[in-house]
Structure 1
Amino acid sequence: MGSLRKSKERSLLIGLVLTLLLSVIILRLFWVQTVNSDEWQAEALKNWVKNEKLKPKRGTIYDRTKEQLAWEEDAYYFVAAPKKVKDKKKTARLLAPILGIDEKVLLQKLQQKKDSVDLRDGSKFKFPSEVYDKVMELRKKKEIEGIYGYQTTKRKYSGNEAAHVLGFLRIDDKPAGGVESTYDKWLRGKEGYIRYIGAQNGMMITDEPEKNRPPVNGKDLVLTLDTRIQHQVELELDEAIKSYQAKGGTAIVADPKTGEILAMVSRPSFDPNNYAATIDDENRQNRAVESQFEPGSTFKIVTLAAAIEEGIFNPDATFQSGSIQVEDRTIRDWNNGRGWGTITYREGVEKSSNVAFVKLGQQLGAGRLVEYINKFGFGDITQKFGKKTGIDLPAEGRGYFFGRSPYPSELASTAFGQGISVTPIQQVAAVSAIANGGIWYKPHVMKEIWEPGLKKRIQTNQPKGRRIIRPETAKQVRELLRGVVKSGTGMQAELLGYGVAGKTGTAQKPDPNGRGYLEGKYVVSFVGFAPYDDPEVVIYVAIDEPSSEYGSVSGGEVAAPVARDILKKTLQIRAVQPSKQMAESIK
Structure 2
Amino acid sequence: MRDSEKQKRKFYIASVFITGLFVLLGYRSFELQVLQSEKFSAGAKKQHSRVYRMPPVRGTLFDRNKKPLATSVWATSIYLNPKEVKNPDKLARTISKPLGLSRNKLISLTRSDKPFVWIKRGEDPGTAKKIEAMGLSGVGFAEEPKRIYPNGSLLGQTIGFTNIDLKGVEGLEYGFEKMLAGKPATVRIRTDGRGNSISDVLLNAKEQSTKGSDVLLTVDSNIQHMTETALEKGIKEMKADRGAALLMNPQTGEILSMASYPFFNPNRFGEFSQKTRKNLPVWMSFEPGSTLKVFLAATLLEEKMGDENTEYDCENGKKRIGPKVIKDVHGHGILTVSETITYSSNICAWKMGETLGKKKLHDSLRNFGFGETVGVDLPGEATGRMQSLRDWGDIELATISFGQGISVTAIQLATALSSIGNGGYLMKPYIVKKIVSPEGKVLMERSPESVKRVISYDTASKVTRILEQVVENGTGKNASIPGYRVAGKTGTAQMPNPQTGTYYENRYLSSFIGFAPADDPRLALVVIVENPREHNYGGVVAAPIFKSITEKVLFYMQIPPDKEKLEKMVMPDMVNKSARAVMKWAEKEEVSVRFIGNGYVVSQHPPSGKKIRRGTDCTFILKQNI
- TM-score interval for Structure 1 and Structure 2 normalised by the shorter chain: 0.7 to 0.9
Residues 253-285 of structure 1: CA deviation (Å, up to 9, x unaligned): 110011111000112232211212x23132121
Q: Distance in 1 between matches of 2:182 and 2:134?
A: 36
User: Match for 1:547 among 533, 541, 544?
Assistant: 533
TM-score (ref. length: structure 1): 0.85
User: Match for 2:141 among 144, 149, 159?
Assistant: 149
Question: Are 2:520 and 1:534 equivalent residues in the alignment?
Answer: yes
Q: Which residue of the partner structure matches residue 66 of structure 1?
A: 66
Q: Which residue of the partner structure matches residue 90 of structure 1?
A: 90
Q: Distance in 1 between matches of 2:506 and 2:70?
A: 41
User: Match for 1:363 among 349, 355, 358?
Assistant: 355
Q: Which residue of the partner structure matches residue 473 of structure 1?
A: 459
Q: CA deviation at 1:314?
A: 3.0
Structure 1, 175-184 or 486-495: larger mean CA deviation:
175-184
Paired amino acid for 1:366: K
Q: Distance in 2 between matches of 1:452 and 1:515?
A: 53
Paired amino acid for 1:57: V
Question: Are 2:214 and 1:220 equivalent residues in the alignment?
Answer: yes
State the identity as a percent: 34
Q: Distance in 2 between matches of 1:195 and 1:281?
A: 37
Question: Are 2:348 and 1:325 equivalent residues in the alignment?
Answer: no
Residue pair 2:140, 2:200 contacting (<8 A) in 1 also:
no
Residue pair 2:241, 2:530 contacting (<8 A) in 1 also:
yes
Residues 396-424 of structure 1: CA deviation (Å, up to 9, x unaligned): 10012224330011111101100111111
Question: Are 2:44 and 1:34 equivalent residues in the alignment?
Answer: no
Paired amino acid for 2:342: E
Q: Which residue of the partner structure matches residue 451 of structure 1?
A: 437
Counterpart of 1:119 in 2: which secondary structure?
strand
Question: Are 2:397 and 1:411 equivalent residues in the alignment?
Answer: yes
Structure 1, 92-101 or 252-261: larger mean CA deviation:
92-101
Q: Which residue of the partner structure matches residue 503 of structure 2?
A: 517
Counterpart of 1:397 in 2: which secondary structure?
coil
Structure 1, 479-488 or 262-271: larger mean CA deviation:
262-271
Alignment map for 1:5-24 (pairs within 5 Å): none
Q: Which residue of the partner structure matches residue 42 of structure 2?
A: 45
Q: Which residue of the partner structure matches residue 263 of structure 2?
A: 269
Q: Distance in 1 between matches of 2:200 and 2:170?
A: 40
Q: Distance in 1 between matches of 2:373 and 2:509?
A: 21
Structure with the larger RCO, 1 or 2 (CA within 8 Å, 6+ apart): 1
Q: Distance in 1 between matches of 2:133 and 2:108?
A: 23
Residue pair 1:32, 1:40 contacting (<8 A) in 2 also:
no
Residues 337-395 of structure 1: CA deviation (Å, up to 9, x unaligned): xx1233333222111111121111111111111111011001xxxxxxx2101011111
Gaps of 5+ in 1: 1-22, 379-385
Q: CA deviation at 1:312?
A: 2.4
CA RMSD of superposed structures (Å): 2.8
User: Match for 1:300 among 293, 301, 311?
Assistant: 293
Q: Which residue of the partner structure matches residue 334 of structure 1?
A: 329
Question: Are 2:158 and 1:185 equivalent residues in the alignment?
Answer: no
Residue pair 1:74, 1:128 contacting (<8 A) in 2 also:
no
Counterpart of 1:452 in 2: which secondary structure?
coil
Residues 483-508 of structure 1: CA deviation (Å, up to 9, x unaligned): 10111111111111112110111110
Question: Are 2:351 and 1:349 equivalent residues in the alignment?
Answer: no
Residue pair 1:376, 1:440 contacting (<8 A) in 2 also:
yes
Question: Are 2:446 and 1:461 equivalent residues in the alignment?
Answer: yes
Q: Distance in 1 between matches of 2:501 and 2:275?
A: 24
Q: Distance in 2 between matches of 1:332 and 1:419?
A: 16
Residue pair 1:64, 1:224 contacting (<8 A) in 2 also:
yes
TM-score (ref. length: structure 2): 0.80
Alignment: residue pair count: 536
Q: Which residue of the partner structure matches residue 413 of structure 2?
A: 427
Q: Which residue of the partner structure matches residue 226 of structure 2?
A: 232
Gaps of 5+ in 2: 1-18, 571-626
Q: Distance in 2 between matches of 1:94 and 1:529?
A: 61
User: Match for 2:477 among 491, 502, 520?
Assistant: 491
Q: CA deviation at 1:212?
A: 5.5
Q: Distance in 2 between matches of 1:111 and 1:196?
A: 19
Question: Compared with structure 1, are the counterparts of its residues 470 and 94 closer, same or farther at alpha carbon in structure 2 (3 Å cutoff)?
Answer: same
Counterpart of 1:563 in 2: which secondary structure?
helix
Q: Distance in 2 between matches of 1:93 and 1:214?
A: 36
Residues 403-448 of structure 1: CA deviation (Å, up to 9, x unaligned): 4330011111101100111111111110011111110011111011
Residue pair 1:98, 1:134 contacting (<8 A) in 2 also:
no
Q: CA deviation at 1:191?
A: 4.2
Question: Are 2:118 and 1:118 equivalent residues in the alignment?
Answer: yes
Paired amino acid for 2:115: D
Q: Distance in 1 between matches of 2:465 and 2:130?
A: 66
Paired amino acid for 1:300: K
Question: Compared with structure 1, are the counterparts of its residues 138 and 239 closer, same or farther at alpha carbon in structure 2 (3 Å cutoff)?
Answer: farther
Residues 292-346 of structure 1: CA deviation (Å, up to 9, x unaligned): 11110111111011011112233334333212333443211134xxx12333332
Structure 1, 463-472 or 52-61: larger mean CA deviation:
52-61
